[in-house]
Chain A
Amino acid sequence: MLKEMKTDNFNDQMTTELEKLNRRSVLLMGLLAVAVVLTFSFCVGFGSLKIGLDELIKIIFRFGDYDPVLSEIVWDIRFPRTIGALLGGAALAVAGIMLQVFFRNPIVEPFVLGISSGAVLCVALVMLGGISLGFGAVSPMGLFLAALLGSSVVMIVVLMFATRVKDVVSLLVIGLMMGYICSAVTSVLQSFAEKEALQGFVVWTLGSFSGFTWASVRIIVALCIPIFGSLVFLVKPLNAFSMGEEYAMSMGVNIKRFRIFLVAITSILAAVVTAFAGPVGFIGLAIPHLARLLFKTADNKILVPGSILMGGSVTACCDLISRTILAPVELPISAVTAFIGAPIVIYLIMKRRTSL
Chain B
Amino acid sequence: MYFKTDNLSVGYGGKALIKNINIGVEKGKILCLLGPNGSGKSTILRSISKHLKKIAGTVFIAKEDMNSLNSVEVAKRLSVVLTEKVAPELMTCEEVVATGRYPYTNHFGKLTDDDHRIIEESMEAVSVLDLMDQEFTHLSDGQKQRVLLARAICQQPEIIILDEPTSYLDIRHKIELLGILRSMAVKQNVTVILSLHEVDLAAKLADTIILVKDNTIFGSGCPEDVLNDGVIKTLYGIEAGSFNMLMGSVELPRTCMSDSRVFVFGGDGYGTRCYRALHKSGISFCTGVLYHNDVDYQVAMSLARQTIFEKSFRPISDVIYEQACKAMLKCEVIIDTGFDLDGETNRNRQLLELAYNTNKSILSLRKQTLKSKAEVQQFETIGAMINSEKLKLDSDEMSSISLCS
Contact = CB atoms under 8 A, between A and B. Distances in A.
Contacts of A57: none
A252 B99 CA distance: 11
Contacts of A232: 107-108
B87 A249 contact: no
Interface in A224-248: 232-233, 235-236, 239-240, 242-244, 246-247
A301 B107 CA distance: 12
A333 B78 CA distance: 50
A301 B75 CA distance: 22
A253 B103 CA distance: 8
B57 interface: no
Nearest to B75: A252
A249 B75 CA distance: 8
B102 interface: yes
Contacts of A239: 99, 109
Contacts of B84: 244, 246
A242 B109 contact: no
A248 to B, nearest CB: 8
B88 interface: yes
Interface string B66-78: 0000111111101
- Chain B interface, >50% SS class: loop
A17 B95 CA distance: 14
A354 interface: yes
Interface string A67-90: 000000000000000000000000
Interface string A259-298: 0000000000000000000000000000000001000111
A246 B51 contact: yes
B87 A354 contact: yes
B307 to A, nearest CB: 50
Contact of B71 (A106, A249, A296, A299): A249
B90 interface: yes
A246 B80 CA distance: 9
Contact of B99 (A104, A251, A297, A354): A251
A249 B50 contact: yes
Contacts of A252: 70-76, 102-103
A191 interface: no
B195 interface: no
B107 A236 contact: yes
A251 B103 contact: yes
Given A247-B80, A251-B75, A297 B102 contact: no
A239 B95 CA distance: 9
Contacts, number: 81
B49 interface: yes
Contact of B102 (A104, A236, A292): A236
B88 A236 contact: no
A254 interface: yes
Nearest to B130: A10
A246 B89 CA distance: 17
Contacts of B103: 251-252
B101 to A, nearest CB: 9
A9 interface: no
Given A232-B108, A240-B102, A249-B71, A298 B82 contact: no
B86 A244 contact: yes
A163 interface: no
A244 B72 CA distance: 17
Interface in B31-63: 49-51
Interface in B90-137: 90-91, 95-96, 99-100, 102-103, 105, 107-109, 132-133
Interface string A38-65: 0000000000000000000000000000
B155 interface: yes
Interface in A280-328: 292, 296-299, 301
B287 interface: no
A301 B109 contact: yes
B5 interface: no
A253 B89 contact: no
Given A233-B107, A252-B72, A247 B91 contact: no
A252 B155 CA distance: 10
B327 to A, nearest CB: 58
Contacts of B96: 243
A166 to B, nearest CB: 9
Nearest to B157: A250
A26 B274 CA distance: 68
A299 B90 CA distance: 9
Contacts of B91: 242, 298
Contacts of A254: 71
B18 to A, nearest CB: 20
Interface string B201-242: 000000000000000000000000000000000000000000
B102 A251 contact: yes
Contacts of A240: 99, 102
A249 B70 CA distance: 11
B260 interface: no
Nearest to A233: B107
B79 interface: yes
Contact of B88 (A253, A296, A298): A298
Nearest to B87: A354
Contact of A299 (B95, B107, B132): B95
A247 B72 contact: no
Nearest to B101: A251
A250 B80 contact: yes
Nearest to B74: A252
B289 to A, nearest CB: 57
B90 A298 contact: yes
Contacts of A299: 95
B157 to A, nearest CB: 9
Contacts of B155: 251
A120 to B, nearest CB: 31
B72 to A, nearest CB: 4
Contacts of A17: 133
10 contacts: A233-B107, A235-B109, A240-B99, A242-B91, A244-B88, A249-B51, A252-B71, A252-B102, A298-B90, A354-B87
Interface of B: 49-51, 70-76, 78-80, 82, 84, 86-91, 95-96, 99-100, 102-103, 105, 107-109, 132-133, 151, 155
Closest 5 CB pairs of A and B: A252-B75, A236-B109, A251-B102, A252-B72, A298-B90
